[in-house]
């Protein structure tokens, strides 16, 4: 499951630097999460770091991207492999 930032986001800027996969970016009005990069921090941490630091609790699971922990780990491994391969 990827996470999702809701419109309750106050653009406090604390979530973006916490994301180890660089999945969080500033959208047109609020921060957004790229579901293809979000692993809910599986492979990096025990808990999603953005959820831990969010002062308004506006980062639920994205219902459009339901993935098991195993699938999230596979995504993490793919992202890590892509990050270390030369372009």
For residue 77, being part of any structural domain is answered with: yes
**How do residues 4-48 score in pLDDT, each as one tens digit?**
999 999 999 999 999 999 999 999 999 999 999 999 999 999 999
pLDDT attached to residue 65: 92
CATH number of the domain where residue 42 is located: 3.30.70.20
pTM score, whole prediction: 0.90
Tell which wins on pLDDT, 85 or 66: 66
Residue 87: pLDDT band with limits 50, 70, 90? low
Total structural domains in the chain? 1
For residue 27, being part of any structural domain is answered with: yes
Cα(70)–Cα(87) distance, integer angstroms: 27
For residue 3, being part of any structural domain is answered with: no
The alpha carbon dihedral of 66, 56, 23, 17 has a sign of negative
Residues spanned by the domain of 64: 16-84
pLDDT attached to residue 82: 84
Cα(63)–Cα(75) distance, integer angstroms: 17
For residue 5, being part of any structural domain is answered with: no
For residue 30, being part of any structural domain is answered with: yes
For residue 69, being part of any structural domain is answered with: yes
Which residues have a Cβ under 8 Å from the Cβ of 36 and sit 6 or more positions away?
Answer: 2, 23, 75
For residue 11, being part of any structural domain is answered with: no
Residue 86: pLDDT band with limits 50, 70, 90? low
Per-residue b/e over 67-81, b at no fewer than 16 CB within 10 Å? beeeebeebbeebee
pLDDT attached to residue 84: 80
């Amino acid at each position: 499951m990827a996470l999702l930032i809701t419109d309750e986001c106050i653009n406090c800027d604390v979530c973006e630097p916490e994301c180890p996969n660089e999945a969080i970016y500033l959208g047109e009005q609020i921060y957004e999460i790229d579901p293809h990069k979000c692993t809910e921090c599986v492979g990096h941490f025990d808990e999603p770091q953005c959820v831990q630091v969010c002062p308004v609790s506006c980062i639920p699971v994205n219902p459009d991207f339901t993935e098991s922990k195993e699938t999230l780990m596979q995504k993490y491994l793919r992202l890590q492999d892509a990050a270390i391969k030369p372009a």
